């Protein structure tokens, strides 16, 4: 959950509507297209700056949507932030599925491939983008109960993805757990998010490499 994620950048904004006054004209699919453009722009900003430090004006300017149109789609900045979080959750769940459910590779190699993709994304964006969910978690004391509940639900969903991968590794005899699958998957995300923050701090992917190596060694079945 990184930002590492390869969130589409300029190309997804090319279809943004040009600024105009008042409500947008109701052409087929235009409302959905404009809303999606705003959500994608929000994902880009929140993966870098988080929610409390981000401003709606800069997001609107980046995609050429006037403020009046923004409030046609979202009642408030918080409503927008919650929608961005939901959009990011679905985006990242698709990424997790593509890596962790890929039976072309052994389960633990799937985790490694996911981690490599995340590291490549962080480097590609010059260590400026982290995980939107991790960023919001750091701001949780300043966010509403609705944000905290959605963040927790997001982590639980992501943990289930990892648990499914670990269950397959366990069935194949590749790992040996001392705790439950659920606790082990939770431990993965606790450590992963911490490693992402440290990676951005020191501008090196070494913390992610260290964490993943430690995690896999801790769960790998020992030969007798």
pLDDT digits (tens, 9 = 90+) for 154-189: 999 999 999 999 999 999 999 999 889 999 999 999
- Residue among 208, 209, 211, 171 at smallest CA distance from 187: 211
Question: How large is the angle between the packed helices 145-171 and 181-202, nearest 10 degrees?
Answer: 110
pLDDT band of 203, cuts 50, 70, 90: very high
Phi, psi at residue 219, to the nearest 5°? -105, -10
pLDDT at 67: 86
| Least confident among 90-94, 128-132, 172-176, 207-211 | 128-132
Q: What is the pTM of this model?
A: 0.79
Query: Rounded distance, CA 189 to CA 131, Å?
Result: 11
pLDDT at 162: 97
End-to-end Cα, the chain, rounded Å: 35
Domain boundaries, the chain: 10-219
- Residue among 216, 222, 190 at smallest CA distance from 107: 216
pLDDT at 58: 85
b/e string for 89-128 if b means 16 or more Cβ within 10 A? Answer: bebbeebbeebbeeeeeebbebbbebbebbbebbeebebe
Q: For the segment 7-46, what is each residue's pLDDT rounded down to a tens digit?
A: 443 333 233 333 344 444 444 355 558 899 999 999 998 8
pLDDT at 3: 39
Which option is the CATH number for 10-219: 3.40.50.1110, 3.40.50.1980, 2.40.10.220, 1.10.357.10?
A: 1.10.357.10
pLDDT at 158: 96
Q: For the segment 31-84, what is each residue's pLDDT rounded down to a tens digit?
A: 558 899 999 999 998 888 889 888 888 889 888 888 888 888 999 999 999 999
pLDDT at 9: 39
104 token code pair: 């072309």
């Amino acid at each position: 959950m990184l930002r590492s994620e390869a969130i589409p950048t300029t190309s997804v904004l090319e279809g943004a509507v040009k600024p105009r006054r008042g409500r947008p004209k109701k052409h087929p699919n235009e409302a959905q297209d404009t809303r999606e453009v705003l959500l994608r722009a929000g994902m880009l900003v929140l993966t870098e700056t988080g929610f409390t430090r981000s401003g709606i004006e800069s997001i609107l300017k980046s995609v050429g949507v006037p403020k009046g149109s923004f409030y046609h789609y979202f009642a408030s900045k918080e409503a927008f932030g919650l929608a961005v979080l939901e959009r990011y959750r679905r985006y990242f769940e698709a990424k997790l599925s593509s890596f962790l459910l890929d039976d072309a590779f052994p389960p633990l190699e799937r985790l490694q491939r996911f981690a490599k993709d995340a590291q490549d994304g962080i480097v590609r964006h010059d260590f400026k983008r982290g995980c939107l969910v991790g960023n919001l978690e750091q701001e949780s004391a300043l966010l509403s109960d609705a944000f905290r509940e959605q963040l927790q639900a997001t982590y639980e969903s992501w943990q289930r993805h990892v648990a499914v991968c670990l269950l397959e590794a366990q069935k194949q005899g590749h790992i040996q757990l001392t705790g439950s699958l659920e606790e082990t998957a939770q431990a993965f995300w606790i450590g992963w998010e911490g490693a992402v923050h440290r990676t951005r701090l020191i501008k090196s992917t070494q913390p992610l490499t260290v964490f993943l190596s430690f995690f896999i060694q801790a769960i790998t079945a020992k030969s007798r």
